[in-house]
Amino acid sequence: MFSLSDKTVVITGAGSGIGRAVAVLFARQGAHVEVLDLSAEAGAETAAEITGAGGSARATACDVGDAEAVRAVFAEITARRPRLDALVNNAGVAHIGTLLTTQEADMDRLYRINIKGVFNCAQAAVERMVAQGGGVVLNLCSIAAQMGLADRFAYSMTKGAVLTMTYSIAKDFIHQGVRCNCICPARVHTPFVDGYLARTYPGREAEMFEKLSAAQPIGRMARPDEVAALALYLCSDEAGFVTGCSYPLDGGAVNLR
């Protein structure tokens, strides 16, 4: 089950964290992975990890907020590969702040990456998927799209957009064989979390890590590989009847507080 043999998958933000975990797992399940990341170095590291384990991957530096660059990258990929079976829209940035502390530049930056980036990549991918008779789009969303989170004004705005873009894509292309779903994680232990703690709470990293972990009812943060496992299901043929859905992966955060 959950084989991705002979499938081509594009994963954005695959240089670290959730994106890298998804890329490594998908390659292990037989997919050829197109690793896209703003950092050429980080993307190359992910691709090297995959190929070093006997998998198939190619890394390309890509700014998902640049529509022209995205179209060029997807055109190059589709020229090399017979199909584009799945896109995992994972690239994104975080922001901490309320309505009153968020600046216009913050809003512009988050819109460009978290919303426009998802749009750019989905548009390029779905165009190919419709032409070939189907495919899968999986967006990384957040529980911030489903509940109020303190100090996450701009970030929550972008993830609300990702949620509704997911529903729209699923609705508009259901008869062209394109499925679209999203995963809504709670806090995931990624390098971003470690960097945030180091910058914000120097000397108190362990204490604050425990506090952030305890904020989930289950008592810990999610692991990137747990997100990857759900992503694998949603991009596999076993999920062929699943579209237009948002999946909370939240340790009980939405319903058990």
For residue 70, how many C-alpha atoms fall within 13 Å in the half-sphere facing its CB? 26
Instruction: Determine how many CB atoms are found less than 10 A away from the CB of residue 155.
Output: 23
CA distance linking residue 171 with residue 183, whole number of Å: 17
CB 198 within 8 Å of CB 205: yes
Residue type, 51: T
Residues 6+ apart with CB under 8 A from 173: 126, 129, 130, 180
**Short-list 73, 68, 106, CA closest to 87:** 73
Q: Which tokens hold the place of 49?
A: 């990890």
CA distance 85 to 31: 9
Q: Which of 155, 196, 201, 247 is catalytic?
A: 155
DSSP 222: B
Determine contact, residues 9/86, Cβ cutoff 8 Å: yes
Please give the C-alpha separations between residue 227 and each of 14, 25, 204, 211, in angstroms, as whole numbers.
Answer: 13, 10, 27, 21
Tokens representing 178?
């394109």
Burial degree of 66 (CB within 10 A; 0-12, 13-18, 19+)? middle
Centre a 10 Å sphere on the Cβ of residue 145 and count the other Cβ atoms it contains: 22
Catalytic-residue membership of 155: yes
Which active-site residues does the annotation give?
Answer: 155
